Chain A
């Protein structure tokens, strides 16, 4: 007979979980493993609310196992370290992102690309090395292998910095991999949400010219005045879109809903690259002619490796890049999820776990 979530492991943990496909979260008592030799135990202070949390809770990708404790933008303080842990000490401020394990021996792990390891373990809704399910950061504490914990730089605030652990690395990694760091090049960013707004800031720090492409005209002022974008294109304004044809070296597409790629491809110059980061639950339609005639490409990217995640955090600390957040209490999460589904947030909810999650 399978052990109950509370009895599986020795350490008692309290968090909030979705119990079924409604995705509604509620208090949940469970347990975590004892702190092993390689492990770091973390008291969680803040956890960002990523759109993936919403997709998972509501089983929109069809792979949810309930009860499901989401949360993979975790910031906290170290409470315990295993005997082999040299990189962290008790009291350090640290972060945990989207992964908590990988095989450590494949060609990807060896190149610091744990995120492409076929056996990488996700922070929640995944199976850990001991065969038990992983639970995420909507909880009071977490135990993580030291290789999947990052130092949180002094200059970064815990609440506004938490979203960097998924949103930040998710846009930083493709900018490096696909060569978008040459100052003066023109980057289009589709979607001004959690990923998009951080992408604007990181892109500006790389010296790029940035155009935000959005279906919401009301976001223009924010994009230009607060985030520092150079231009703003309303994606359903045919005239403006036409005027921007063939002007961009790259496009980062952060939109997770199904949408048309053809108009975006036309914005690219020849040899331009469209990198898609969203994970809609239906395929996107990709016309081939523009790819061939203009040697354009469409590529994907999935978070980043651990080394690159640390590099990204240090880069953001150096350039004062944080997310724009709305801090909420744990018991406000369901309302926040409904608002997130309607994109009604500027631009990330972050749960103040430390202050608001209490034993009932």
Chain B
């Protein structure tokens, strides 16, 4: 029996932009979404952030992409319908969905609010849902998600600049907390000033840290200090600057996923310092044992955050007035935006104005 067409799989008509193959070129795509189940929240998508993961996935760089692929996991909008068993949301609420739309609910990780580490976690796009159909992301007009994986966005936060919190924001907030780098007065280094990096600076400052941005681009210094309020800036290729900062940091959040030397970063750590990787370079780290042991240092990773923590992060952002620095684009610009993202030519996140531009792009 032939598989159903995307348009016919489900009862609700949906429209988005999808990549059809590894070229990653996105184009209009008609598909469908399930009816609002008893625990589902349906919402009209107003904005969707463009994450670098979207770029990796449309080009199948991780080898697990299913086409047609509708990316987007920084999705915000307004609730249009809720299922009969939904307790936390009402029609008209501002809501968001991030990188996950499902998990097993019963493993150790799920019961500890760590759905992101559940071995059966379901990604928002290009993954298989419980009903066997493929998930489609937020470069689309409507979204249906289980309420467990939906967060409430306080009215005080502007929707467009809040969208990137749902991936970039939680990705840096979670390790700042888990690895104990949220203590006032701590010195936190942030490697890479992009979508993740600029959020890390904002969160760390709000947590009371002194923040040093570490970057290969000297031209980002002005921004880092004047606009983002970082306390200092290190050019990572400048040996003298790196040397002068030896043993000064309590922790470093490394947001860079391109391969880069990690040894100099461990040198920047004080004794008991922690180097936390949230970008995932492909090449392994040549880890010399002596510095790790002699300073009881740690090299760790982190991957987004659980749902409880994601809501906590959004509320924290609302309390401290933290949003992402964005460039809003119409959906027709999305392929150009992907090319610019590849060259890191954005300050610091593209956000697609879905609400105003998706209908006219059909």
Question: Could you tell me if B300 and A283 are in contact, using CB atoms closer than 8 angstroms?
Answer: no
Question: Could you tell me if A300 and B285 are in contact, using CB atoms closer than 8 angstroms?
Answer: no
Query: Is residue B296 contacting chain A, with contact meaning CB distance below 8 A?
Result: yes
Per-residue CB proximity of A277-303 to B under 8 Å, as 1/0? 111100111111111111111111110
**Chain B residues, CB < 8 A from A280:** 289
Task: Please report the C-alpha to C-alpha distance between residue A116 and residue B270 in the assembled complex, in whole angstroms.
Answer: 11
Query: Is residue B277 contacting chain A, with contact meaning CB distance below 8 A?
Result: yes
Question: Could you tell me if A295 and B301 are in contact, using CB atoms closer than 8 angstroms?
Answer: yes
Query: Is residue B157 contacting chain A, with contact meaning CB distance below 8 A?
Result: no
Consensus secondary structure, chain A interface: mixed
Smallest Cβ-Cβ distance to A173: which chain B residue: B296
Question: Could you tell me if A116 and B114 are in contact, using CB atoms closer than 8 angstroms?
Answer: no
Question: Could you tell me if B301 and A300 are in contact, using CB atoms closer than 8 angstroms?
Answer: no
**Chain A residues, CB < 8 A from B178:** 295
Q: Which of B108, B109, B271: most chain A Cβ within 10 A?
A: B271
Q: Known contacts A289-B280, A295-B303, A302-B296: does B289 contact A276 (CB below 8 Å)?
A: yes
Which single member of A108, A270, A291 contacts B117 (CB below 8 Å)?
Answer: A270
Total interface residues on A, CB under 8 Å, equals 35
Query: Is residue B288 contacting chain A, with contact meaning CB distance below 8 A?
Result: yes
Task: Please report the C-alpha to C-alpha distance between residue A294 and residue B287 in the assembled complex, in whole angstroms.
Answer: 19
Within 8 A of A (CB), among B296-327: 296-303
Task: Please report the C-alpha to C-alpha distance between residue A136 and residue B291 in the assembled complex, in whole angstroms.
Answer: 24
Query: Is residue A271 contacting chain B, with contact meaning CB distance below 8 A?
Result: yes
Question: Could you tell me if B284 and A299 are in contact, using CB atoms closer than 8 angstroms?
Answer: no
Task: Please report the C-alpha to C-alpha distance between residue A280 and residue B300 in the assembled complex, in whole angstroms.
Answer: 21
Query: Is residue B292 contacting chain A, with contact meaning CB distance below 8 A?
Result: yes
Q: Known contacts A292-B301, A298-B299: does B280 contact A284 (CB below 8 Å)?
A: no
Smallest Cβ-Cβ distance to B274: which chain A residue: A297
Per-residue CB proximity of A3-44 to B under 8 Å, as 1/0? 000000000000000000000000000000000000000000
Query: Is residue B39 contacting chain A, with contact meaning CB distance below 8 A?
Result: no
Q: Known contacts A283-B286, A293-B303: does B119 contact A288 (CB below 8 Å)?
A: no
Question: Could you tell me if B301 and A293 are in contact, using CB atoms closer than 8 angstroms?
Answer: yes
Query: Is residue B244 contacting chain A, with contact meaning CB distance below 8 A?
Result: no
Query: Is residue B183 contacting chain A, with contact meaning CB distance below 8 A?
Result: no
Shortest distance from the beta carbon of A115 to any chain B beta carbon, whole Å: 8
Which single member of A262, A284, A297, A302 contacts B298 (CB below 8 Å)?
Answer: A297
Question: Could you tell me if B280 and A271 are in contact, using CB atoms closer than 8 angstroms?
Answer: no
**Chain A residues, CB < 8 A from B298:** 297-300
**Chain B residues, CB < 8 A from A278:** 289
Query: Is residue B295 contacting chain A, with contact meaning CB distance below 8 A?
Result: yes
Question: Could you tell me if A271 and B117 are in contact, using CB atoms closer than 8 angstroms?
Answer: yes
Question: Could you tell me if A297 and B295 are in contact, using CB atoms closer than 8 angstroms?
Answer: no
Question: Could you tell me if A285 and B286 are in contact, using CB atoms closer than 8 angstroms?
Answer: yes
Per-residue CB proximity of A78-109 to B under 8 Å, as 1/0? 00000000000000000000000000000010
Q: Known contacts A246-B119, A293-B303, A296-B301: does B289 contact A116 (CB below 8 Å)?
A: no
Query: Is residue B272 contacting chain A, with contact meaning CB distance below 8 A?
Result: yes
Task: Please report the C-alpha to C-alpha distance between residue A120 and residue B292 in the assembled complex, in whole angstroms.
Answer: 17
Q: Which of A284, A287, A289, A300: most chain B Cβ within 10 A?
A: A300
Q: Known contacts A279-B290, A295-B178: does B285 contact A286 (CB below 8 Å)?
A: yes
Task: Please report the C-alpha to C-alpha distance between residue A177 and residue B298 in the assembled complex, in whole angstroms.
Answer: 12
Q: Known contacts A288-B285, A289-B280: does B296 contact A297 (CB below 8 Å)?
A: no
Q: Which of B274, B279, B296: most chain A Cβ within 10 A?
A: B296
Question: Could you tell me if A279 and B289 are in contact, using CB atoms closer than 8 angstroms?
Answer: yes
Q: Known contacts A116-B271, A276-B292, A294-B117: does B297 contact A299 (CB below 8 Å)?
A: yes
Shortest distance from the beta carbon of B260 to any chain A beta carbon, whole Å: 11
**Chain A residues, CB < 8 A from B279:** 292
**Chain A residues, CB < 8 A from B287:** 261, 283-286, 298
Per-residue CB proximity of A288-327 to B under 8 Å, as 1/0? 1111111111111110000000000000000000000000
Question: Could you tell me if B284 and A285 are in contact, using CB atoms closer than 8 angstroms?
Answer: yes
Which single member of A108, A269, A277, A285 contacts B293 (CB below 8 Å)?
Answer: A277
Query: Is residue B278 contacting chain A, with contact meaning CB distance below 8 A?
Result: yes
Q: Known contacts A108-B271, A116-B296: does B289 contact A283 (CB below 8 Å)?
A: yes
Task: Please report the C-alpha to C-alpha distance between residue A29 and residue B280 in the assembled complex, in whole angstroms.
Answer: 56
**Chain B residues, CB < 8 A from A294:** 117, 301, 303
Shortest distance from the beta carbon of B267 to any chain A beta carbon, whole Å: 14
Q: Known contacts A246-B119, A286-B287: does B292 contact A298 (CB below 8 Å)?
A: yes
Within 8 A of A (CB), among B242-296: 271-272, 274, 277-282, 284-296
Smallest Cβ-Cβ distance to B254: which chain A residue: A288
Task: Please report the C-alpha to C-alpha distance between residue A348 and residue B260 in the assembled complex, in whole angstroms.
Answer: 41
**Chain B residues, CB < 8 A from A286:** 284-287, 299
Task: Please report the C-alpha to C-alpha distance between residue A108 and residue B270 in the assembled complex, in whole angstroms.
Answer: 11
Question: Could you tell me if B277 and A291 are in contact, using CB atoms closer than 8 angstroms?
Answer: yes
**Chain A residues, CB < 8 A from B109:** 270-271
**Chain B residues, CB < 8 A from A289:** 280, 282
Question: Could you tell me if B296 and A291 are in contact, using CB atoms closer than 8 angstroms?
Answer: no
**Chain B residues, CB < 8 A from A118:** 271
Question: Could you tell me if B272 and A116 are in contact, using CB atoms closer than 8 angstroms?
Answer: yes
Q: Identify 22 residue pairs between A and B in the complex whose beta-carbon atoms are under 8 Å apart, listed by A's number.
A: A116-B271, A116-B294, A276-B289, A276-B292, A276-B293, A279-B289, A284-B288, A286-B285, A287-B284, A288-B280, A288-B282, A292-B278, A292-B279, A292-B301, A292-B302, A293-B303, A295-B301, A297-B298, A298-B299, A298-B300, A299-B296, A300-B297
6 A-B pairs closest in CB distance: A291-B301, A297-B300, A300-B292, A292-B301, A300-B293, A270-B117
Q: Which residues of B line the A interface, CB within 8 A? A: 108-109, 114, 117, 119, 178, 271-272, 274, 277-282, 284-303
Q: Known pairs A292-B279, A298-B299; list 20 more (Cβ under 8 Å).
A: A116-B296, A261-B287, A262-B284, A277-B293, A283-B288, A283-B289, A285-B284, A286-B287, A288-B280, A288-B284, A288-B301, A291-B300, A293-B301, A295-B300, A297-B298, A298-B292, A299-B292, A299-B299, A300-B291, A302-B294
